[in-house]
C-alpha cells in the first residue's frame, strides 16, 4: 500500500483521486537532445515520495542523477550523460565521459586501473557504461496494492574470437518508497572461458558528502590501496571539506555480513540527517572499495561493491582473485539502494551495522 503525503492509501483510494498515475509518480522514457548528450536514451523514475532518479539505457542502464526532495544524492561530473560515441578506451580515456552519478557499472571482462594482461592492453574500468542497452522495456503496473515501475534491457560485450557476455538488467522502484533495486544476470554466451570483472561505482556527492558525512559500514578491516591512502588511514570513514590538491584515497574493506549474507553500507550527513545506503550479498560481490576523493570541485565518495579490486586485471590474476565465466555460465547480482531522510532511518542503519559487527556471521 503506497504511503504518500504522510498517510497510507489503497489502490482504489488513489485511482479515485487522479486521472493518470503520473500525477503521483511513475516512469517515463525520453531522449537527450543537446551537444555531446544528443541521442542518449534516458528514463526518469519518480516514486512520489520525493525520490527521483535517472536511469540511462543509452549508457548501459546506469543511474546518473538522483535526488530526494530536491537534494542530490549523487556526485555528477562535468561530462554528464555523454554519448558513448565519444568513448576513448586506451589508458585513462574512460574519465573523459565518466558521468559519475549514483551508479556507474564497470566491467564486464575488465575493471580497475589500465594495465596489460596476458598481452592485451586494457583501459580504465571496462566498456560497460559506454555500451547502450537494447530491447529496453519501460513500464509500470499495479501488483495488488503496490504500484511497481521498472526499466529493463540487455547489454552485450562481445568481439569476434573473444568474449560474448550478455548482461540482463532490471531496475525497479515502488510508488511511495525511497529506494531502488538493481537485478543483473550475466551469462557467457560465447564458446570460450572468459575473465569476468564487475564493479558497481556508487558515487555519493554533496549535500550527502560534506565534512559532517561519515561512512557507516560493518568493516572488519580497511586496507589502504597505496601510499596516498596511508595518510590519516585511521579516519577512513570521515571526510574533509573540499581541499585543493587532495589526492584520492582508496581502501579495501573486509565486510562482515548479517545472518543472510548481506552487507549494508551507507553515507550519512549527520548535520542534515540525510544520506543513503547500499545492500548487497557478499557471496555475489566479495570485494568492497571505498573511493575517498575530497578534492575541491572533485568532491565525491565512492562505495564500490565488486567481484574484483581496482588495480587492474593483471594484478587480480596474479593474486588469484580473477574470476572467470565458463561457456553457458550465469551469475546474478542484486543491489538495493535506499535514501535516509530522518534520525529514525539513520538509527536503523547504525543499529543494523552494529548488530552485524557484534555477531560477525561472516
Q: What's the pLDDT score for residue 361?
A: 62
Q: What's the pLDDT score for residue 362?
A: 60
* SS3 state of residue 217: coil
CA distance 237 to 290: 9
Q: Model pTM?
A: 0.97
Q: What's the pLDDT score for residue 179?
A: 98
For residues 85-97, average pLDDT: 91
**Residue 38: cis peptide before it, omega within 30 degrees of 0:** no
* Beta-bridge partner residues of 4: 7
Pairing verdict, β 194-204 and 298-306: antiparallel
Q: What is the 3-state secondary structure (H, E, C) of 67-120?
A: EECCEECECECCCCCCCHHHCCCCCCHHHHHCCECCEEEEEECCCCCCEEECCE
pLDDT digits (tens, 9 = 90+) for 177-220: 999 999 999 999 999 999 999 999 999 999 999 999 999 999 99
For residues 22-34, average pLDDT: 96
Q: Which of 143, 136, 138, 112 is nearest to 126 (CA)?
A: 112
Pairing verdict, β 104-108 and 115-117: unpaired
Q: pLDDT confidence of 89, banded at 50, 70, 90?
A: confident
Q: What's the pLDDT score for residue 359?
A: 86
Residue 237: domain span: 3-359
How many residues are present in the chain? Answer: 362
Report DSSP state, residue 2: -
pLDDT digits (tens, 9 = 90+) for 336-356: 999 999 999 999 999 999 999
Count of structural domains within the chain: 1
- Distances 340 to 81, 255, 257 between C-alpha atoms, Å: 26, 21, 20
Distant-in-sequence, close-in-space partners of 45: CB < 8 Å, separation ≥ 6 = 27, 51, 52, 53, 54, 55, 149, 151, 171, 173, 180
Pairing verdict, β 262-269 and 274-281: antiparallel
Q: For the domain that residue 318 is a member of, what is the CATH number? A: 2.70.98.10
Pairing verdict, β 213-216 and 262-269: antiparallel
Q: pLDDT confidence of 360, banded at 50, 70, 90?
A: confident
Q: What percent of the chain has pLDDT over 90?
A: 98
pLDDT above 80 for 146? yes
Q: What is the mean pLDDT of the chain?
A: 96
Amino acid at each position: 500500500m503506497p504511503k504518500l503525503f504522510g498517510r497510507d492509501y489503497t489502490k482504489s483510494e488513489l485511482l479515485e483521486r487522479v486521472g493518470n498515475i503520473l500525477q503521483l509518480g511513475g516512469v517515463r522514457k525520453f531522449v537527450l537532445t543537446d551537444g555531446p548528450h544528443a541521442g542518449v536514451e534516458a528514463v526518469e523514475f519518480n516514486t512520489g515520495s520525493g525520490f527521483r532518479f535517472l536511469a540511462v539505457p543509452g549508457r548501459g542502464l546506469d543511474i546518473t542523477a538522483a535526488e530526494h526532495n530536491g537534494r542530490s544524492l549523487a556526485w555528477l561530473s562535468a561530462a554528464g550523460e555523454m554519448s558513448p560515441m565519444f568513448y576513448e578506451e586506451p589508458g585513462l580515456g574512460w574519465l573523459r565521459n565518466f558521468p559519475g552519478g549514483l551508479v556507474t557499472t564497470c566491467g564486464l571482462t575488465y575493471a580497475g586501473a589500465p594495465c596489460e594482461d596476458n598481452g592485451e592492453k586494457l583501459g580504465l574500468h571496462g566498456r560497460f557504461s559506454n555500451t547502450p542497452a537494447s530491447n529496453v522495456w519501460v513500464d509500470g503496473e499495479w501488483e495488488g496494492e503496490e504500484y511497481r515501475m521498472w526499466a529493463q534491457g540487455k547489454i552485450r560485450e562481445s568481439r569476434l574470437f573473444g568474449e560474448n557476455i550478455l548482461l540482463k538488467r532490471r531496475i525497479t522502484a515502488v510508488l511511495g518508497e525511497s529506494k531502488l533495486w538493481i537485478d543483473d544476470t550475466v551469462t557467457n554466451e560465447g564458446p570460450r572461458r572468459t575473465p569476468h570483472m564487475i564493479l558497481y561505482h556508487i558515487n555519493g556527492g554533496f549535500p550527502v558528502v560534506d565534512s559532517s558525512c561519515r561512512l557507516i559500514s560493518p568493516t572488519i578491516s580497511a586496507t589502504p590501496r597505496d601510499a596516498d591512502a596511508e595518510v590519516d588511514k585511521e579516519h577512513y570513514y570521515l571526510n574533509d571539506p573540499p581541499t585543493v590538491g587532495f589526492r584520492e584515497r582508496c581502501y579495501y574493506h573486509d565486510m562482515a555480513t548479517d545472518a543472510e549474507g548481506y552487507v549494508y553500507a551507507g553515507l550519512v550527513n549527520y548535520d542534515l540527517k540525510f544520506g543513503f545506503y547500499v545492500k548487497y550479498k557478499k557471496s555475489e560481490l566479495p570485494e568492497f572499495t571505498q573511493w575517498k576523493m575530497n578534492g575541491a570541485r572533485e568532491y565525491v565518495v565512492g562505495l564500490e561493491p565488486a567481484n574484483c579490486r581496482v588495480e587492474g586485471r593483471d594484478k587480480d590474476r596474479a593474486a588469484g582473485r580473477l574470476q572467470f565465466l565458463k561457456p553457458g555460465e550465469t551469475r546474478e547480482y542484486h543491489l538495493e539502494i535506499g535514501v535516509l531522510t530522518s534520525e529514525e532511518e539513520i538509527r536503523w542503519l547504525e543499529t543494523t551495522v552494529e548488530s552485524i559487527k557484534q555477531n560477525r556471521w561472516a
